[in-house]
């Protein structure tokens, strides 16, 4: 995380952090509106998990396959044509989806190139995903939050829970109370030591949970466009140091970030975890579409 340096700038990192945390909670209603708009856009072109199976909702007619029981034939509909048709119902088996977004200080980083902070984008993606999944009848909740619900207003309930939670959540999340065989979506910048996340992902895999990661990065974190004298701050610990020629650090920093991302990708692949990388200078809808498509595939295979 980076902060441009000016010698005459007063230093009050603790107060700034508290103000930023309170502002993030105050913005939740606006983020919920944005999330529902994005979910509506994605839902228009997303068919979710619609498939034939146990349920009460009509899905489609299909031709009768000789050899299957004759009781499946819809004789009234078949009488209109010369083809025997079977009425199929839509599969309605709900899964439990647990969501988590990193709201630590590092997620509040935002450069001039970004459309918002990493935390804001993470919250929007989480709420949009909740709204999208609620339309499909899934049970949705927060990791270490209220019990999952299948109500259509799940996104509103999750937004309320986030607003009541201090925006200083530790990273990674606790996994001791997670249900077995659920789907877990973790949204973070994943800049903590990879070994820390390996322990968490391993615990999720051991509980038979299907885990999906969304790594959110600010474009400045990828490009390191700094030169000259700069002050760099660790937002988690508050440790700061001055650099006389920041451009001399660029190659080493870029290599270190690439190694971090590669290690995370390797750990995710080894543990069967999906991983999406998203940047805050890009629209949120494509990331939501990729995530929901990945979840749809996992849920279908788990059926």
Please indicate, yes or no, if residue 151 is contained in any of the structural domains: yes
Please indicate, yes or no, if residue 287 is contained in any of the structural domains: yes
**Model pLDDT, residue 7:** 31
Q: Predicted confidence band at 52 (pLDDT cuts at 50, 70, 90)?
A: very low
**CA atoms of 249 and 227, how far apart (whole Å):** 9
DSSP string, 269-300: HHTT-EEEEEETTS-HHHHHHHHHHHHHHHHH
Please indicate, yes or no, if residue 2 is contained in any of the structural domains: no
| Alpha helices in the chain, H assignment, sequence order | 13-26, 28-43, 75-78, 118-135, 154-163, 194-206, 219-223, 250-270, 284-302
Please indicate, yes or no, if residue 131 is contained in any of the structural domains: yes
Least confident of 17-26, 60-69, 111-120: 17-26
Angle between helices 250-270 and 194-206 (to 10 degrees): 10
Query: Which residues contact residue 75 at a Cβ distance below 8 angstroms, ignoring those fewer than 6 apart?
Result: none
> For residue 140, is pLDDT > 50?
yes
Query: Which residues contact residue 145 at a Cβ distance below 8 angstroms, ignoring those fewer than 6 apart?
Result: 158, 161, 165
**CA atoms of 49 and 121, how far apart (whole Å):** 25
DSSP 8-state secondary structure symbol assigned to residue 224 = -
Pair (17, 37) in one structural domain: yes
**Model pLDDT, residue 302:** 37
- The better pLDDT of the pair 19, 176 is held by 176
Pair (72, 144) in one structural domain: no
Q: Tell me the mean pLDDT in the region 270-275.
A: 89
**CA atoms of 66 and 45, how far apart (whole Å):** 34
Q: Which run of H or E residues covers position 5?
A: none
Q: Which of 66, 89, 112 is the last residue of a domain?
A: 89
**CA atoms of 208 and 186, how far apart (whole Å):** 16
Pair (33, 156) in one structural domain: yes
Query: Which residues contact residue 25 at a Cβ distance below 8 angstroms, ignoring those fewer than 6 apart?
Result: 162, 163, 167
Pair (85, 224) in one structural domain: no
> Are 31 and 124 in contact, with CB atoms under 8 Å apart?
yes
Pair (164, 241) in one structural domain: yes
240-243/230-233 β-pairing: antiparallel
> For residue 75, is pLDDT > 50?
yes
Pair (13, 159) in one structural domain: yes
Q: Predicted confidence band at 297 (pLDDT cuts at 50, 70, 90)?
A: low
The C-alpha angle with vertex 291 and arms to 285 and 296, in degrees rounded to 5, equals: 120
Q: Which of 39, 71, 89 is the last residue of a domain?
A: 89
Pair (261, 292) in one structural domain: yes
Report pLDDT digits (tens) over 199-249.
Answer: 888 888 888 888 999 999 999 999 999 999 999 888 877 888 898 999 999
Q: Tell me the mean pLDDT in the region 147-167.
A: 84
Looking at the 3D structure of the chain, how many domains does it have? 2
Pair (80, 213) in one structural domain: no
Structural domain span for residue 268:
7-50+93-302
Omega before 172 within 30 of 0, i.e. cis: yes
Pair (67, 136) in one structural domain: no
> Are 105 and 111 in contact, with CB atoms under 8 Å apart?
no
Please indicate, yes or no, if residue 115 is contained in any of the structural domains: yes
Q: What is the CATH number of the domain that holds 110?
A: 3.40.50
Least confident of 38-52, 57-71, 117-131: 38-52
Please indicate, yes or no, if residue 34 is contained in any of the structural domains: yes
**Model pLDDT, residue 26:** 63
Please name every residue paired with 275 in a beta bridge, in sequence order, or none if there are none: 213
Q: Predicted confidence band at 39 (pLDDT cuts at 50, 70, 90)?
A: confident
Least confident of 59-63, 103-107, 239-243: 59-63
**CA atoms of 192 and 190, how far apart (whole Å):** 6
Pair (84, 223) in one structural domain: no
- Of the chain, the percentage scoring pLDDT greater than 70 comes to 80
Pair (73, 155) in one structural domain: no
Please indicate, yes or no, if residue 271 is contained in any of the structural domains: yes
Please indicate, yes or no, if residue 1 is contained in any of the structural domains: no
**CA atoms of 131 and 127, how far apart (whole Å):** 6
Q: Predicted confidence band at 262 (pLDDT cuts at 50, 70, 90)?
A: very high
Pair (144, 66) in one structural domain: no
**Model pLDDT, residue 174:** 78
Q: Predicted confidence band at 168 (pLDDT cuts at 50, 70, 90)?
A: low
Q: Tell me the mean pLDDT in the region 145-149.
A: 82
């Amino acid at each position: 995380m980076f902060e441009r340096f000016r010698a005459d700038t007063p230093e009050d990192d603790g107060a700034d952090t508290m103000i930023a945390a309170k502002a993030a909670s105050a913005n939740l209603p606006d983020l919920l509106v944005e999330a529902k708009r994005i979910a509506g856009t994605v839902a228009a072109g997303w068919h979710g998990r619609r498939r034939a199976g146990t349920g009460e909702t009509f899905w489609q007619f299909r031709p009768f396959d000789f050899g299957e029981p004759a009781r499946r034939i819809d004789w009234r509909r078949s009488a209109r044509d010369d083809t025997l048709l079977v009425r199929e119902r839509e599969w309605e088996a709900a899964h439990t989806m647990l969501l988590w977004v990193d709201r630590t200080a590092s997620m509040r980083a935002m450069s001039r190139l970004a459309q918002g902070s990493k935390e804001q984008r993470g919250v929007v993606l989480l709420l949009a995903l909740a709204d999208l999944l609620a339309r499909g009848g899934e049970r949705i909740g927060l990791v270490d939050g209220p019990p999952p619900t299948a109500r259509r207003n799940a996104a509103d309930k999750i937004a309320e829970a986030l607003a009541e939670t201090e925006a200083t959540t530790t990273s990674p999340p606790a996994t001791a109370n997670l249900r077995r065989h659920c789907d877990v979506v973790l949204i973070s910048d994943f800049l903590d030591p990879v070994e820390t996340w390996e322990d968490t992902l391993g615990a999720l895999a051991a509980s038979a949970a299907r885990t999906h990661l969304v790594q959110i990065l600010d474009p400045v974190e990828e490009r390191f466009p700094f030169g000259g004298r700069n002050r760099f701050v660790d937002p988690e610990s508050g440790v700061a140091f001055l650099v006389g020629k920041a451009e001399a650090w660029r190659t080493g920093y870029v290599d270190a970030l690439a190694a971090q991302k590669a290690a995370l990708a390797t750990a995710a692949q080894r543990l069967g975890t999906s991983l999406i990388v998203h940047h805050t200078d890009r629209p949120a809808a494509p990331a939501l579409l990729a995530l929901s498509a990945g979840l749809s595939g996992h849920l279908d295979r788990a059926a």
